[in-house]
Structure formats: C-alpha cells, structure tokens
Amino acid sequence: MKNRTSALSLFATACAAAASAAHALPLNDKASIEVFAGGNTSMPGSFRGENVPVQTNDPLGSTVYNDLKLSDAYNNRYNAGAEFDYAFNSRLTAFGRAAYSAFDGSSHQVGRFEPGSSGPFERISAQFDDTATREFDLGARYTFAPGAKLRPFVGAALGATRLSATRAEFDHVDDAGKTPVELSRAGTVFQQRVETGLQFSPMENFDLRLTAAASHLGAGKASEDPNLALVGLDSGHSELRGHWDYPAELGAVWHF
C-alpha cells in the first residue's frame, strides 16, 4: 500500500509539473504529455563487489556466503511514470520525465553452513524486503522520418534516482531464528539513460510510443548495520553497487 501511495503521489507531481511547464512555455502545438508503464527486462549487478564467496569460521564449522546478485534478490514488478515533451523542430525534442519502479523481494539461497565434523551442509536463505526507486531526469530525443506514421527515435537523459533502503532477513544456522540486516541505506544517486524505440501515430494529436532503454545508476550508500558482520559483510562491502537496468516501456502520448 505504501508503494502504491508513493506511485500515485509521484504521478500527481509529474502531472502538476507538466501542467506548469505547459503554461510557462509558448507551446504553439509543440508540446506533448506521455503516460507510460512497463518493466525491467534485466537487472545485472550485485550488492557486493566480490566475485568469490565470503567465508566465516567458528568452532562449529564455517559459513560460506555467495556473491549476492540483484536478480537473485528481487523480481521486477512494474515501472510507471509521466513525461513532458517540447519539440524544437520536427526532429529534435527535449523532455523531462518522472518514473517510479517497484521491485518484489524474493527468498533466495545466499550461502551454506559447513559443519566442522562430518555432516551434511545446511543451506542459508534470506528473505528480501520489497524496494522501490523514484527517478527524475531531463533529456533530448532525435526522431527519424518526421511526418511518417511510424517514426524511429533515439534519446539520452541525465538525472537523479532516489533508492529505497535494501533490507533482508537471513536464516540462523544454529536455530530457527532470523537476523534482520540492512544491506544499503536509502539515498539519491546520479543516473544516465540512453534509449531507442518507435513512435506510431494512429490518429491526430495522439501517438503510441514503444521504448527500450538502458539506465546506469550510481552506487547506493553503504550500510552501517552491526548485523552485517553476522552474514560475512562489513560496511566496506555492503553498498548497492552501481549497475545497469534495462526497462521496456509502452506509452500514450497526447499533443497540445
């Protein structure tokens, strides 16, 4: 419910900003508003910069934690948002966009406990909390074949993304309890985005836009949670690393 409320608030803010921009600019049929939705096709990257397992030892045995990937921890739910465009000419358009992305936390095996004496390995799993991002950026788009019903385009944008904190509950290996751990803190990071796609005009003043993009997000803030040491991590290896997202979006565009 909290994520849904945040998404509605973001959408309302984006619409209000677009309306303000529309009143401030001499539009002359050059402005448009897009509402879009979609999802990430891929989420490479990890919480930890290492490519080898982390091992901790105690008298009962050793615990090995695997490299923790974003695609293991989260399933993409959706992304949605709104965009305001202003066309300088038939080919070049500037835009400002706001987007909200939601991710479902999953349960995943993150390591194993190896007893000191002979005995079977014990799997260690973690349940990751849901998380979300909020994105604001400015960019430009170049359109090929202006005037045609079907027009390919390319674009690029720079902006900022607000990352929610990433948290999980790790299994204990010696009892049935769980350890809550904050893997990275909430924070705002720099974002770069490139995109390409097709825009189709089925009728006057209305278009459909299909976009495939690649967005690079900077590293999140490192956590200072003391429980990190219990799962083989420390504040130097707990941040959400810089990574790429690959969203695909379908939008409806209304021209003024």
In a domain, 232, yes or no: no
The verdict on residue 180 lying in a domain is no
Q: Out of 70-79, 97-106, 131-140, 192-201, which region has the weakest mean confidence (pLDDT)? A: 70-79
* pLDDT at residue 254, as a whole number: 95
DSSP 60: T
How many domains, the chain? Answer: 1
Does any domain span residue 215?
yes
Residue 231 resides in a domain: no
| 32-56 pLDDT per residue, tens | 999 999 988 777 667 654 444 455 5
Which helix (H) or strand (E) covers residue 61, if one does? strand 61-65
Q: How confident is the model at residue 57 (pLDDT cuts 50, 70, 90)?
A: low
Residue 114, strand partner residues: 62
pLDDT higher than 60, residue 17: no
Domain containing 7 — which CATH number? 2.40.160.20
Q: Answer whether residue 8 is part of any domain.
A: yes
